[in-house]
Structure 1
Amino acid sequence: MSSQTNITVEQQLQGILEVVLFSVPILVPCCVFLCINVIMLMTLRSKSVLRETSRYVLLFNLLFGDTVQMSLSQLFYLLASCRIRLTYPVCGLLAMLIELTNEISPLTLVVMSLERYVAVCYPLRHSTFITIRSTAVAVIVVWAFSSLNVLARVILLLDFPFRDLKSLQMKDICAKENMLLGRYSDDYDKAYNYFLFVSAGVAVSCSYIGVMIAARSACTDKDSFRKARNTLLLHLVQLGLSLSSTLHNPLIEAIAKVTDRIGFVRIRSVIYVCIILLPRCLSAFIYGIRDKTIRSILIYYLCCRIKLSVITAKAKVSP
């Protein structure tokens, strides 16, 4: 009995050590990126010129969705690493929130691409079509469309006989895939993801092609066309990375069948960083570095934060 107890305690300590070793390297950069995103959101709300320009309003919506998505993804990752099991209602609420914010990025990228297309191809009508009011309507439509998707998933989830369960405690870790309990939930999830991927990809690609055609036929303002082309190309890359999150769980399931536990944990951490975490961090870097208006204000906020931390540290050290 004493030997079995020692072995059990040793296995528990090894499990805790594995969680710490593989969770901390993921948690630290995620917290750093979250801080950068929050500062970027503060930057976009700090000046009236940023609050009253359509593309910056759309950027704020994109960053807000990415920030919430990153926070929820990190929460799911920590729950899975610690093997914490939730009840179906709590897990369902978290899964619906992450599903809601998951669609914000690709849909907002589509709107941002269309805005750049109008700005380049129809510059004289841009101020008429793209206003703060029309941008607000576009943002509301994006959130409403995502909410309808969540509502459809909730309706499909009600088909599952929860009353027949002995307990609402989940037998597995909380994950979006573990909440696809209805008869048609999995089919709807695949069909919706395919529809979103194809529709968003076609919209951004058509905007890119339209700008390229306009750039070849125009004789002036080549620099503006080049910037718009590069921006749309970045939107296309962001869209691909954002929608690559749909490949996360199929990859995890396939890897779990062919690797041992240690190898699975390591590979899962790498895939999580590349597919889930990295795409949500690119927006702040891309726009914070490329846009001159944002860059100066962002550097100011970052430097102020650094100065405040240094002053606080000196105050604690001094008697």
Structure 2
Amino acid sequence: MLNMPQSKANITAGLQYQTSQDLTISIIVCAGLSCTFLYINSVLLFTLRSKTVFRETSRFILLYNLLFADTLQLVSNLLLYVLAACRIKLTFYVCGSLIMLSILMTTISPLTLAVMSLERYVAVCYPLRHTAIITIRSTGISITLVWAFSFLNILIRVLLLYSNTKFSLTLQMKDFCSKEAMFLASILYHFDKAYAGILFLSVGVAIICSYMGVMLVARSASTDKASTRKASQTLLLHLSQLGLILISTLYSTMIIAIARTGDRLVLVRLYSVFFVCFSILPRCLNALIYGLRDQTIRPILMYHLCCQWKCSAFLTKGNATNRLK
């Protein structure tokens, strides 16, 4: 009987060690994947600004806006994940800034996908009027409206937060920084669900209608079958990306349900899996899909990704040749 407290202490210590070990491995894996995709996204962003054709073509400008939002979203999500995994508590002001940045980028991505889908619809269904409708000016106006609508969402959330929550901006949070910890008021919870539902429903309808319009035009004998097929595949990819982004906004509900069970080890493992599948992957697919599918971007992207390796290999080969001489 005297050994019972000691055995319980050993079990507790073992669980704590296992949890800490899982946390360390999870942080290393998630940080490694995030940094890899951040590098790819950064190279693609640089590629889209390196040539005049990219800076003066509407679909590449929209792609740059989408990648920019995804990159900032990936950075903010990684920072929030590392802070939560390391149990670092922030003030409400700092935590609120990170959460609002993440929400802002989450809103911009689906709205940009809707604009990109409409651009492909115009390109296929109205090819003769495409250059007149989709101009640099109209693209800039569309991007401005996307950002303005996203900032309006943030403004409403901030007003609701201040009117329904009493705290000091310098007050330390009791738990790690997360959207659930910030939006404790029920009205904020209901607003978040209603806004997400309206947003994704509207964007989904826009993409589906664009796809149906492209498929109807594809039946015409006078259309370019290759370009129509490529446009329809792009719209399907947009719809898949929208689904992944929607899942990434809903997985926190699953985390909360698991947290109520009290099993911290399971929570840590599932949180890491969800973070990789629903937070990292949706933000890196754009670079992989568009960077490898587009014949104009792919050779330049591969050059920027591999030029340093080629240069280093060339220099190594040159040094070896000099030694032989």
> TM (normalized to structure 2)?
0.89
Structure 1 equivalent of residue 22 of structure 2: 18
Alpha-carbon displacement from aligned partner over 1:115-168 (angstroms, at most 9, x marks no partner): 0000000111110010011101111111111000000000001113435x7971
Is 1:289 matched with 2:277? no
- Residue identity over aligned pairs, in percent, reads 56
- In structure 2, the gaps of 5 or more residues are 1-8, 319-325
Kept in 2: contact 1:159–1:183 (CA 8 A): no
Give the superposition deviation at 1:19.
Answer: 2.2
Q: What is the alpha-carbon root mean square deviation over aligned residues?
A: 2.6
Is 1:144 matched with 2:148? yes
Kept in 1: contact 2:19–2:264 (CA 8 A): no
Give the superposition deviation at 1:11.
Answer: 7.5
Give the superposition deviation at 1:33.
Answer: 0.4
Of 251, 265, 270, 1:267 maps to 270
Kept in 2: contact 1:204–1:235 (CA 8 A): yes
Alpha-carbon displacement from aligned partner over 1:168-221 (angstroms, at most 9, x marks no partner): 111111001211144521111111000001101000000000100111134331
Of 198, 218, 234, 1:195 maps to 198
Structure 2 equivalent of residue 50 of structure 1: 54
Give the superposition deviation at 1:255.
Answer: 2.3
Kept in 2: contact 1:41–1:63 (CA 8 A): yes
Structure 1 equivalent of residue 6 of structure 2: none
Give the superposition deviation at 1:272.
Answer: 1.1
Q: Distance in 2 between matches of 1:254 and 1:162?
A: 26
Moved more, 207-216 or 246-255: 246-255
Give the superposition deviation at 1:222.
Answer: 1.0
Q: Distance in 2 between matches of 1:244 and 1:181?
A: 21
Q: Distance in 2 between matches of 1:8 and 1:259?
A: 14
Is 1:219 matched with 2:222? yes
Moved more, 15-24 or 269-278: 15-24
Structure 2 equivalent of residue 180 of structure 1: 183
Kept in 1: contact 2:93–2:169 (CA 8 A): no
Q: Distance in 2 between matches of 1:252 and 1:6?
A: 28
Kept in 2: contact 1:86–1:173 (CA 8 A): yes
User: 1:101 corresponds to which letter in structure 2?
Assistant: M
Moved more, 6-15 or 115-124: 6-15
Give the superposition deviation at 1:78.
Answer: 0.6
Closer/same/farther in 2, CA of residues 10 and 238 from structure 1, 3 Å limit: closer
Kept in 1: contact 2:95–2:178 (CA 8 A): yes
Give the superposition deviation at 1:271.
Answer: 1.2
User: 1:193 corresponds to which letter in structure 2?
Assistant: A
Alpha-carbon displacement from aligned partner over 1:275-317 (angstroms, at most 9, x marks no partner): 11111110000011110100010011011132356689999xx
1:62-211 alignment to 2 at 5 Å?
62-163=66-167, 168-211=171-214
Give the superposition deviation at 1:93.
Answer: 0.9
Q: Distance in 2 between matches of 1:121 and 1:263?
A: 51
Give the superposition deviation at 1:80.
Answer: 1.1
> TM (normalized to structure 1)?
0.91
Q: Distance in 2 between matches of 1:6 and 1:206?
A: 61
Q: Distance in 1 between matches of 2:166 and 2:177?
A: 16
Kept in 2: contact 1:159–1:182 (CA 8 A): no
Alpha-carbon displacement from aligned partner over 1:242-295 (angstroms, at most 9, x marks no partner): 121121100111223347222221111111111111111100000111101000
Q: Distance in 2 between matches of 1:205 and 1:241?
A: 16
Q: Distance in 2 between matches of 1:120 and 1:290?
A: 18
Kept in 2: contact 1:107–1:142 (CA 8 A): yes
Closer/same/farther in 2, CA of residues 267 and 182 from structure 1, 3 Å limit: closer
Q: Distance in 2 between matches of 1:46 and 1:303?
A: 16
Q: Distance in 1 between matches of 2:86 and 2:263?
A: 18
- In structure 1, the gaps of 5 or more residues are none
Q: Distance in 1 between matches of 2:31 and 2:316?
A: 23
